[in-house]
Structure 1
Amino acid sequence: MSDNKRWFYAGTYTGADEQGIFLCALDMDNGSMEIVHGTDGIANASYLALNAAQDTLYAVSETGDGEVCAYAVDGATGKLQLLDRKPTHGSDPCYLSLTRDDTHMLAANYSSGHVNAYRIEGDGKLAETGLVRHSGGSVNQERQEAAHPHSVFQDPSGKYVLVCDLGLDEIVIYRLKGGELQEHNRVKTAPGAGPRHFDFHPSGRWAYGINELDDTVNVYAFDAEAGNLQVMQTLSALPEGAAKGSSSADIHVTPCGRFLYASNRSDDSIGLYRVDPSTGLLTAVEWVSTGGRTPRNFAIVKGGFLLAANQNSDSVVSFKIDKESGRLTPTGHALTLPKPVCIVPVYK
């Protein structure tokens, strides 16, 4: 691979008999992209995670009989070889993540309310260790008729596991003890907010959540000792005057901690917010079209690019990030992929 290109994996909504996980290359000079190769044998690989050694890739299979898969990554070619697949004992797993020390994998099952923990063995295979199931609902009778865990991740201290539950309007906080999930705390959002995705500031002092159903962004103070979140600010995820669509999706803070981006599927945009370095509070700057339809996950790529996965226009679109202002400029390049929904950069 040439010095001016960087790999990334893309997960898609495709059938098991089609290629569903793609290794792609991003040209760091101009933002153009190309497919290197694809992997089949997994249906609806809608979320991916790569371990720190970048030798194992994990993927959900977002189906009624949920599964998670582990793949060995060839260091020279990036090709994937299936190592293991395990059931989630739930339906429609839509998110997974690894603990900070890469010893466990966590998964969230949207439709059934289950949250899983798996121990990662020395060979990258998975051993089931923890399973909990959320129950209940909230005020939106159409979307919150039951619990719907939408993301699961560990906090920067490694003490807690947080689950955004869209159906409960809660962020449920666990401790991971011996591979088991033990409930520690619950943090409520506004009724009908529908918490979906979440990211921590690099300082660990603040956290940011995007709420799908009321199209808002929450700013939280994070108490790592107590394992608690306190809402400090709530802003619109949409530009002023835009019709609410109950479809805000993904959220990420830049590694420098100065900027935050949030994606919206109702107006096909990514919003830019400036982060106050002393308080963590946000100021909205602008919204930029993703150049496609229904942006789900997006990724910030080291070196100054943002890649947006436009599910319903079958495209990944690249943007150049201005390092001083955080503003996004379309490169003019798009990559055709079938229903892309997740992007994971590779840093080798």
Structure 2
Amino acid sequence: MHAHLKKVIKPSMFMAVIMLFVANTSIAAQQQFLIGTYTQSDSEGVYKITLDDEKQTLTNLGLVARATNPAYLSINSETKNMLAALENDSGGIASFMWNEASKDYTMVQKIEDLGRHTCHISTSPNNEKVAIANYSSGDIRVFSIDQQLMALSQSAYFKNQGKGEHSRQEAPHMHYVQWDKTGRFLYAVDLGTDEIKVFDSQNDAFDAQLAAKLDIGDGPRHIALHPNTNVVYSLNELSNTVTVFEQQADTGKLLRLQKVNLLEDAEVEGNWASAIKVSADGRYVYAAVRGVNKIAVLSANTEGKLALVQMHSTMGNWPRDIELSADGKYLLIANQKSGDISVLARDEKSGMLSATKMQLALSTPSYIGNL
């Protein structure tokens, strides 16, 4: 090689490369999450936390969005903009834009008087629509989203009718809304009537069809979609069970495949299933149960059917929400009554959970999501 073509790396350049590598490694080791809260006590809205894999620590970066009872969030991973369900007596939804300069969220719109206790929110796969579920008034609303302005305009409304046999099923209680992976079907989960309704976006009329009727007293709360198949899991709050369904591609209706108990019969009373998540590879399902304060670990076979393999303590009281970290190594738990975020390590091969020392005090957390 000719001398004038040789590249000489000076010591200062070498050190700069090493420092950049270390910095990037440190950033990669820190995963960020947003925490929604109930604000009746010490919390003031939405908080950002980080999990440092190398140091095995959780850090509260502080309040990033001020709001009243932002109980559940929908986060746009590309723009970092956020929508919040405001779980108040009059119900509400708020939209926020990420402010890179101030490193927090600016509220750009708040709509109130939408129904009683807005408890869940979900954005369509194309980010053009957002739906909310109102627990106490038993209805759902759909809004169109202007992504440039983060402005919302209502486009559809549905109120369910009926009741169930459990003492908590005296009226419809919409608890969850979720689009399927194609964005064609919107599901609405009604704890009060033991029903999952489905809406087909290919129909101009916003007509509800019965996607699935759960067993009497199941009280369905949330659903979760299998990432690789057309399987849908219904987490049933009142019976502490998971019902496995196969989604019908042409109608969106759900064909029952299986039902799995999370607790022994003697344990069911006074315990309430709360949140369900599926691992990115679809091999494991995680479900939280309040009261006994445990996480159920279920393995999923190639058909999506489940088998209970472990019950692990939530390391706190009243797990309202759970989230798998983006790297799949941890399960984070929002313990509402003990006021903390706890972290369990996850074996990616076996799906099994184990305790860590990572725990962070945070008043009345209700939601946790990857940022």
Band the TM-score falls in, shorter-chain normalisation: over 0.9
- CA contact 2:240–2:268 (8 Å) conserved in 1: no
Match of 1:199 in 2: 224
After TM superposition, the structure 1 = structure 2 runs for residues 251-290 of structure 1, keeping only pairs within 5 Å, are: 251-277=276-302, 279-290=303-314
- Give the Cα separation in 1 of the matches to 2:128 and 2:41: 28
- CA contact 1:17–1:40 (8 Å) conserved in 2: no
1:159 Cα offset (Å): 1.2
1:160-182 Cα offsets, whole Å, 9 max, x none, are 10011000100011123699733
- Give the Cα separation in 2 of the matches to 1:44 and 1:288: 29
- Give the Cα separation in 1 of the matches to 2:240 and 2:198: 23
Among 74, 89, 106, the alignment partner of 2:114 is 89
Match of 1:161 in 2: 186
Establish whether residue 297 from structure 1 lines up as the match of residue 327 from structure 2: no
1:39 Cα offset (Å): 4.1
Structure 2 CA distance for partners of 1:225 and 1:177, relative to 1, 3 Å: closer
1:10-58 Cα offsets, whole Å, 9 max, x none, are 0011149952210111112254211112046421111011014142111
Structure 2 CA distance for partners of 1:226 and 1:5, relative to 1, 3 Å: same
Match of 2:47 in 1: 22
Match of 2:168 in 1: 143
Establish whether residue 46 from structure 1 lines up as the match of residue 71 from structure 2: yes
Partner AA of 1:288 in structure 2 = H
SS at match of 2:189: strand
Identity rate, percent: 28
1:275 Cα offset (Å): 0.4
1:244 Cα offset (Å): 3.2
User: What are structure 1's unaligned runs of at least 5 residues?
Assistant: none
1:249 Cα offset (Å): 0.7
Partner AA of 2:209 in structure 1 = H
- Give the Cα separation in 2 of the matches to 1:329 and 1:263: 15
- Give the Cα separation in 2 of the matches to 1:179 and 1:15: 41
- Give the Cα separation in 2 of the matches to 1:332 and 1:240: 32
Among 353, 359, 362, the alignment partner of 1:328 is 353
Match of 1:106 in 2: 131
Structure 2 CA distance for partners of 1:203 and 1:86, relative to 1, 3 Å: same
1:125 Cα offset (Å): 1.6
> Greater CA radius of gyration, 1 or 2?
2
Structure 2 CA distance for partners of 1:127 and 1:31, relative to 1, 3 Å: farther
1:115 Cα offset (Å): 0.1
- Counting matched residue pairs gives 344
Match of 1:123 in 2: 149
Match of 1:345 in 2: 370
SS at match of 2:126: coil
SS at match of 1:2: helix
SS at match of 1:182: coil
Structure 2 CA distance for partners of 1:78 and 1:306, relative to 1, 3 Å: farther
- Give the Cα separation in 1 of the matches to 2:332 and 2:297: 14
- CA contact 2:178–2:186 (8 Å) conserved in 1: yes
- Give the Cα separation in 1 of the matches to 2:211 and 2:308: 28
Match of 2:30 in 1: 5
Match of 2:7 in 1: none
- CA contact 2:33–2:368 (8 Å) conserved in 1: yes
Structure 2 CA distance for partners of 1:254 and 1:232, relative to 1, 3 Å: same
Partner AA of 1:9 in structure 2 = L
Establish whether residue 235 from structure 1 lines up as the match of residue 260 from structure 2: yes
- CA contact 2:65–2:104 (8 Å) conserved in 1: no
- Judge which range, 161-170 or 3-12, deviates more: 3-12
Partner AA of 2:186 in structure 1 = V
SS at match of 1:167: coil
Match of 1:317 in 2: 342
SS at match of 2:337: helix
- Give the Cα separation in 2 of the matches to 1:317 and 1:77: 28
- CA contact 1:16–1:40 (8 Å) conserved in 2: no
Match of 2:245 in 1: 220
1:87 Cα offset (Å): 2.5
1:223 Cα offset (Å): 1.1
- Judge which range, 153-162 or 14-23, deviates more: 14-23
- CA contact 2:195–2:210 (8 Å) conserved in 1: no
- Give the Cα separation in 1 of the matches to 2:97 and 2:204: 23
- Give the Cα separation in 2 of the matches to 1:27 and 1:136: 48
Structure 2 CA distance for partners of 1:3 and 1:41, relative to 1, 3 Å: closer
Structure 2 CA distance for partners of 1:263 and 1:129, relative to 1, 3 Å: same
